[in-house]
Amino acid sequence: MDEEVTQRAYEGVKIVEEEAFEMMKRIGFKIDEIYEILKDLKWHDAEEISRKVSLPQPKVREALKLMASLGHIEYGRGGMRIDHKTLGWLRATVPPTRRGLKCQRRPKGRK
């Protein structure tokens, strides 16, 4: 029984990963732009995001649905915003020169 449950869970994760891969192939270049909009931690709606990234709303909603299923964004107040942990991860992994994501650096001479 436990093995069957584990197999079903694995298959569920595999499906989500495959959907994520297909989504990234279709509009991956716009995902960065969506994160850029959401990084201010304010609430945004799909219409606004669609306008700013120049994608049709159905495509934006599809991307947002995937991002939410991965736990990268949260819904509420009639819109969505980036998850705090995801924002922290982006700030820690994206080079500071990339599209305005700021990295906290120590002043020179300090350790």
Structural domains for the chain: 2-93 (1.10.10.10)
Q: What is the pLDDT of residues 49-103, one digit of tens each?
A: 999 999 999 989 888 888 888 889 998 877 999 998 988 888 887 665 554 544 4
Cβ neighbors of 44 (< 8 A, separation 6 or more) are: 37, 38, 79, 80, 81
Amino acid at 62: E
Q: How far is CA 7 from CA 3, 15, 19, 69, in A?
A: 6, 12, 18, 20
- The residue with greater pLDDT, 36 or 90, is 36
